[in-house]
Amino acid sequence: MVGMIVASLAFFWWLIFFVFWVVFIYVTITIARGKGHSGLLWGILACFFPLITIIIVLLLPDRSRG
């Protein structure tokens, strides 16, 4: 019984981690595209370094306004 509860909690935490990971990737891609940068490139980088990538994308200059 205790093992089942522990397994359920472990799954719950992995699910929360995965949802936040996907949200970070989506936000990074959206910001990068909005600033005129490659959403694909920044999305791939966000897969490996989500928090660092979103901070860098926020600091990038806006290339969409000429």
Examine residue 29 and state whether it is found in any structural domain, yes or no.
Answer: yes
**Chain mean position to CA 66:** 28
- For Cα atoms 45, 46, 47, give the angle at the middle one, nearest 5 degrees: 90
Taking only the tens place, the pLDDT of each residue in 28-43 is 999 999 999 999 999 9
Structural domain harbouring 44: 20-66
Q: Position 7: which residue type? A: A
Q: Are 29 and 37 in contact (CB under 8 A)?
A: no
Q: Are 34 and 64 in contact (CB under 8 A)?
A: yes
Q: Are 10 and 17 in contact (CB under 8 A)?
A: no
Taking only the tens place, the pLDDT of each residue in 7-65 is 888 889 999 999 999 999 999 999 999 999 999 999 999 999 989 999 999 999 998 77
- How many Å is the Cα radius of gyration of the chain? 16
Domain count, the chain: 1
Examine residue 39 and state whether it is found in any structural domain, yes or no.
Answer: yes
Examine residue 8 and state whether it is found in any structural domain, yes or no.
Answer: no
Note the pTM of the prediction, 2 decimals: 0.83
